[in-house]
Structure 1
Amino acid sequence: MDTCLGPELNVSDVFSCSFSSWYSSFENLTISSKVLVLPPEVKSYLLADGIVLPEEDNYRSTADTSEDEEDDWDDGNQESQPPKFVEFEATVKQAIEALGGSVFPKLNWSAPRDASWIAFGNTLKCEGLNEILLLLKSSDFITHDLTRPFDCCHDSGTHSSDSVQYELVLREWCSLAQSMEFRVFVKQGVIVGISQRDFTNYFPELKNIAARLPREIQRFHSRHIAGKFTLQNYVFDVYRRATNNYLLIDFNPFGEVCDSLLFSWEELRTRQVDGTQEDIFRYVMQQEGVKPNPYGQYRVPTDVIDIATGSDPQKLVDFLKVEAERQAREDSTKDDTDDVER
């Protein structure tokens, strides 16, 4: 949104919601993660035009490249040569292995949810660097993090994206039921709203827990978050694993840089904090109440048009490269399993 409503959002609020600012304090409540410093050259690569993916070791070992093809590449495609992030690739590979082999990537604040269309299988599940870079480079959310992280901050003039230490956050992959994800809005330390996280779908099972869910989340908040998080106004996402059993997913600033889902920011800011709000929990109550997918606007970007028209065949090569790398890893795992069975 371009319009920012009061009260004022500060740059310090945004920094407090950066993943590494809160993870160590709530590590026992959330998903296991690894935080890696994003090298400047990788940041520059993510912001550069085009999608030319780096060569990965697995792909180099399985790709069928002839000497003539290499000569042709050197002669005619100097500007499109793939970058090399050897040390960073090794660090990422080690982190992925430590997290069980599959991860969900994000930067300091945002995950590339708007770019799932580009991944094979329409998933954010990644097993290698190229899959991660493809998602990050295709995401407007990530570009926003890298260029305009302090939108709507009244003191944004005091900081720029250059003052941010950017990080790649790799989170252990977990298969979570979308129906059990919720966003919680906290004002002056008090919960003023709870929304179904995925408001583009109708989940009939929510009717069975709608009456008790606000009490459960308020109990989780008072026991584990209230007084421990550094801000008084903030947003947090949780996942309900079972009755009174919640997993903390993320923190966000209390303002337009965060999606208000089934609420509006105007009403959230004017809500009373005395516990008198009756509709503190909102969810889609019937199929007719489903709203359009907010990520739909990102699903036919220029890159897809380039591929469809053939105006940039290199992008198609990169998409196929990612799939080849994935297949190579699967074949390698299968071979290792066969060896053990023998």
Structure 2
Amino acid sequence: MGASWPPPHRPGPHRMTDDEQRTPSPLTPPLEALYWTQYGQWYPIFRKHAPKSTVIDIRTVEPRFLDWLGADTFILPDGSGPSTLPRFSSANSTGSSLSHSDDEDEDEEAEEAEAVVRLSSLDAAIRAVVERYNGGPVFAKLNWSAPLDASFMLAGNNLQCMHPEDVYLLLKSSEFVGRDLEQISQTLHPSDTAADGGAALEVSTADAGVVGEIRPQLVLKKWFQLARSYEFRCFVRARTLLAISQRDMTFYDHLQDTHLQAQLRTAIHTFWQTVVEGATEFPLRDYVLDVYVTKDLGRVWIIDFNAWLPRTDPLLYTFDELEQLHLDPPAQAELRVLEDKRLSSAGGTGATYSSNMVPTDLVQFAKSSSAGTNSTHPQSVDQIVASWNAQVDLEDSHTP
């Protein structure tokens, strides 16, 4: 969708009277906010201003994927790796001399067949997207969240996916993705209790007439390298751009330049005003917008939309501060960057989510334990840890 100037007429921000300043505008109902900020809903509207992406409806393509994501066991789907050959074979019944009876062999093979998980339709869909994007890599996420907390699961500590198993490994390991699934469940069953804070997401059935059904989506973006210092989070309340925050919690010397800050603020505000607020198909009044500005300041890309809800990270602001800005809007949105090296997240994104990490050798052990030919049953996380501890004890007992 191309931008128009001047933008189409629509109710816009205005300087509030003293009485209005004391009364905040009602927030967009959660269900409506979640509906419009899911990737598959806003992407068709802003396709020209976002990285090339493909949205896969999970229930249509592979509904079993949701059961696999929600299961306590951890075993990668068969045939999802670089090779499409089945991970398990009939090697255990090759006619060689074994200590088990034929009946026992048959029982083991039956249990092994039950343990194997295959997501053939979704495998094919992911491989087709990778091929369409010139052989990959792709960046995977669900309706709202990306598995940023699980990057340590892939070689190189990044989120580049080349094969379906990369996608599955990241999504299965991510708490952020788990929250998306819980959030979808809560929109379908509002009485359920949310994991965050132990409170149910307040969604009203009255919103159902305004928005459509929220369905689980797998989003695959064509990978392109971002300069993380040029990613920003924008806070829009009552169709007013109140504040802009640096998105990566790392100290950058060049962002301390006040002239560059002014240029970035102008570029972002102009883009928001002409493209986002100029889109009559996008009705939200309250939302959080993630953007990327190219280093030459010549282009702004939409990375994501987020609902104005407590689960969305306000980064260098607090929601109380943002509400105060809403009550007394600034003439121009404030831009905040990290100004103290001591507050920087050492090691970048990986350090930000360090509480979610486990040792690399344990990750490799879990993968080999689940996928190896000697394993015929899926393992829970507790079982993997117990096996790991037993292996360590065994090695210690043989250490001189």
Shift, 1:66, TM fit? 6.7
Q: Residue in 1 aligned with 2:120?
A: 86
Q: Indicate the percent of aligned positions where both proteins have the same amino acid.
A: 28
Q: Which runs of 5+ in 2 are unaligned?
A: 1-25, 95-104, 188-193, 195-199, 374-400
Classify 1:311/1:30 alpha carbon distance in 2 versus 1 (closer, same or farther; 3 Å).
Answer: closer
Q: Which residue of 1 aligns with 2:262?
A: 211
8 Å contact 2:50–2:301 — kept in the other structure?
Answer: yes
Match for residue 112 of structure 1?
Answer: 147
**Equivalent-residue separation in structure 2 for 1:166 and 1:203 (angstroms):** 37
Distance 1:255 1:184 in 2: 14
Report the residue type matching 1:190 in the other structure.
T
The equivalent position to 1:232 in structure 2, one of 273, 281, 285, is 285
Pick one of 343, 360, 371 that aligns with 1:289: 343
Aligned to 2:238: 188
- Measured after TM superposition, the shift of residue 240 of structure 1 is 0.9
Q: Distance in 1 between matches of 2:115 and 2:341?
A: 49
Alignment match, 1:45: 68
Q: CA deviation at 1:234?
A: 0.6
Report how far residue 215 of structure 1 moved. 1.4
Conserved 8 A contact 2:245-2:335: yes
Which of 91, 99, 104 aligns to 2:133? It is 99
Equivalent runs, 1:1-342 vs 2, <5 Å: 7=27, 9-38=29-58, 39-56=62-79, 58-61=82-85, 67-68=91-92, 74-75=108-109, 78=112, 81-101=115-135, 102-149=137-184, 153-155=201-203, 164-199=214-249, 201-208=250-257, 209-228=260-279, 229-241=282-294, 242-272=296-326, 275-276=329-330, 280-291=334-345, 293-300=351-358, 314-315=369-370, 317=372
* Partner secondary structure for residue 262 of structure 2: coil
- For residues 52-106 of structure 1, what are the alpha-carbon distances to aligned partners after superposition, in whole Å with 9 as ceiling and x for unaligned? 1112274354979672278699449538723111122111111111122210000
Partners of 1:205 and 1:243 in 2: how far apart? 14
Q: Is the Cα–Cα contact under 8 Å of residues 52 and 80 in structure 1 kept in the other structure? A: no
Conserved in 2, the CA contact under 8 Å of 1:8 and 1:154? no
One-letter identity of the residue aligned with 1:299? M
Number of equivalent positions: 307
Residues 8 and 153, structure 1, Cα contact 8 Å, conserved in 2: no
For the residues of structure 2 that align with 1:311 and 1:172, how far apart are their CA atoms?
A: 29
CA gap 1:11/1:222 in 2 versus in 1, 3 angstroms? same
Letter in 2 for 1:314: S
Q: Could you say if the C-alpha distance between residues 129 and 312 of structure 1 is closer, same or farther in structure 2, counting changes exceeding 3 Å?
A: closer
Q: CA deviation at 1:187?
A: 0.8
2:392 is aligned to: none
Per the alignment, in what secondary structure is the counterpart of residue 76 of structure 2?
coil
2:92 maps to amino acid = D
TM-score under structure 2 length normalisation: 0.68
Please tell me the residue identity of whatever aligns with 1:114.
D
CA, structure 1 residues 276+122, in 2 after alignment: closer, same or farther (shift >3 Å)? same
Report if the CA contact (8 A) 2:78-2:86 is conserved: no
Residue identity in the other structure for 1:300: V
Amino acid at match of 2:242: V
- TM-score for the superposition, normalised by structure 1: 0.79
Task: Tell me whether 176-185 or 220-229 shows the greater mean CA deviation.
Answer: 220-229
Aligned partner of 2:98 in structure 1 is none
Relative to structure 1, the CA distance from residue 178 to residue 72 in structure 2 (aligned partners, 3 Å threshold; closer, same or farther) is farther
Structure with max Cα Rg: 2
Matched AA of 1:34: T
The answer on whether the counterparts of 1:104 and 1:124 sit within 8 Å (CA) in structure 2 is yes
